[in-house]
Chain A
Amino acid sequence: MSVLSEISEFVQMGKAKNVKELVKQALESGISAKNILNDALISGMLVIGEKFKNNQVYIPDVLISARAMNQAVAILKPYLTQEGVEPVGKAVICTVKGDLHDIGKNLVKMMLEGVGIECIDLGVDISGEQVARAVKESDAKLVCLSSLLTTTMSYQKEIIDTLTCAGIRDSVKVMVGGAPVTKEYADEIGADAYTKDAAEASEVALSFFNKVNI
């Protein structure tokens, strides 16, 4: 088994320590950081995403895989910069105002990072103004809004309206999700996409970035 396949396997098992050791070995053996990122780390996360979608693995498994990947990416970062590798794109992500639930948001963030998207995580209880500011500052092209409560899902619309008022709605795609949110609701509030889980979120996010050619 090649070292890249081995790294991918350990990512899927969530074994951060093994992943980090092998990533260092791979770098030392002359494999480019870009190759390690794409052919070991991201490929491992894509397998996990697919398994999650098919109920073959569960949220904790995705979390530990994503953690292993993130720790490895931290090692790769200076090498990636040296090689001139850019992230697939940037996304601003948060749980909306009034809502403090963060598992879904964290999971989506980790899955997005797992496919090479840089995430600006604003946390929970976030207003439209905070999102608009973060989009302007980071030049992110994607906004991901999470809401677990029926009482807070309406803030997803408020945030979209704030982006419109700030004149930046057309420069970003907005994805929404969360237990009470549906495709119909997403359409009604003018979001660009509704995704039912984190795996689907990463697929849709990637498709947006391909479309806007970042």
Chain B
Amino acid sequence: MKNKVRSIYEHKDRTIPILSFPSTQLLGITVNELISSSDMQVKGMAQIAQRCNIGASLNMMDLSVEAEAFGAKIRFCDDDIPTVIQGIISDITEAEDIIVPEVGQGRTSTYIDGVRKAKKTITELPVFCGVIGPYSLAGRLFDMTELMMECYDSPDEVKILLSKAKDFIVEYIKAFKSVGADGVVMAEPAAGLLSPSLNEEFSIPFVKEIFEEINDEDFIICYHNCGNAVVHMAESIASLGADIYHFGNAISLKDIIPFMPKDAVVMGNVDPVLFRNGTPDDIKNNVQRVYDECSVYDNFMLSSGCDIPALAKWENIDAYFEKVKELYS
């Protein structure tokens, strides 16, 4: 286990939920204002770090930014994260013509700048950047439903698309590393919808290549997948070589922990929807359930199962941290 990972793991009361967009409420700004200003991002990260007992500070988990850099059309909202509304190809054979953009296109430069500034402001905690995984990016560049079917019909063309997605992601993470990021959370949720064999062919090798390119002793790699089929692909996911594995609430975390490497931290599973629609008691009960099911495993840590929504109630977020503190006090 890398030293930086060990220092996270040794403080289980300081969890790392995927918590960035609710900072808009603390700052009194819209999501649009947050995603377009690195200064606002850092202010938001600092406020979260001050208010919550977190083990690491996460910049943005925005799964549209890479596709936007490729030229995909994005819809922006004031109260929710941006969404890709149109990819850049309508036929998988066009994958060959895609030119991989330079890092810095679209909002990628803003997010890199956000991490650079965060490293100067948030000195007590590791700072993570957020990126999308290759299969999930490919789905946004083409069409998620069509991509799944093309895995059967045109596997070679799909791999061309995946390879281009991978090349961009590698350079994007390297840019984050160059400004001091301590780690990356890579979200590959769309691969969690695939069958185990398709995941093994169309996501795992590309994720592995990315991890091999960016891995070093000082850099923490977190693989996030909130798909509902991950338990059935546990063996291949475990082979990725991540330092942290992060899973959603579509599964029960206890069903996958035994299959993960013992020297990797496994976290997630607390229902992110409850942060917005539930009550503090709902959150506390959910945290308790996950804890009861998984605390027997040494490498388990609590976390939200996915991105906490921008409009999550802060009383619920506070309740999450209160409960974690209570469990580990």
Contact = CB atoms under 8 A, between A and B. Distances in A.
Contacts of A59: 148, 193-194
Interface in B270-311: 272-273, 276-277, 309-311
B100 interface: no
B148 A60 contact: yes
Contacts of B250: 179
Interface residues of A, number: 22
Interface stretch (A34-42, A95-103, A137-145): A95-103
B277 A150 contact: yes
B119 to A, nearest CB: 31
Contacts of A149: 80, 309
Interface in B135-152: 144-145, 148-149, 151-152
B198 A102 contact: no
A179 B190 CA distance: 13
Nearest to B275: A150
A55 B311 CA distance: 33
B238 interface: no
Nearest to B271: A180
Given A103-B193, A151-B311, A67 B149 contact: yes
Interface string B223-255: 000000100100000000000000000100000
A60 B149 contact: yes
B154 to A, nearest CB: 12
A150 B77 contact: no
Interface in A147-187: 149-151, 179-180, 185
B229 A100 contact: no
A67 B151 CA distance: 14
B79 interface: yes
Nearest to B199: A58
A100 B85 contact: yes
B155 to A, nearest CB: 12
A102 B152 contact: no
Contacts of B152: 14, 60, 64
A55 B144 contact: no
B153 to A, nearest CB: 8
Contacts of B309: 149-151
Contact of B149 (A55, A64, A102): A64
Most A C-beta atoms less than 10 A away, residue of B77, B79, B149, B198 = B149
Given A14-B152, A150-B309, A180-B277, A100 B83 contact: yes
B195 interface: yes
Contacts of B325: none
Nearest to B202: A60
B145 A63 contact: yes
5 contacts: A58-B198, A60-B194, A64-B149, A150-B311, A179-B250
Interface of A: 14, 55, 57-61, 63-64, 67, 98, 100-103, 106, 149-151, 179-180, 185
Interface of B: 75, 77, 79-80, 83-85, 144-145, 148-149, 151-152, 193-196, 198, 229, 232, 250, 272-273, 276-277, 309-311
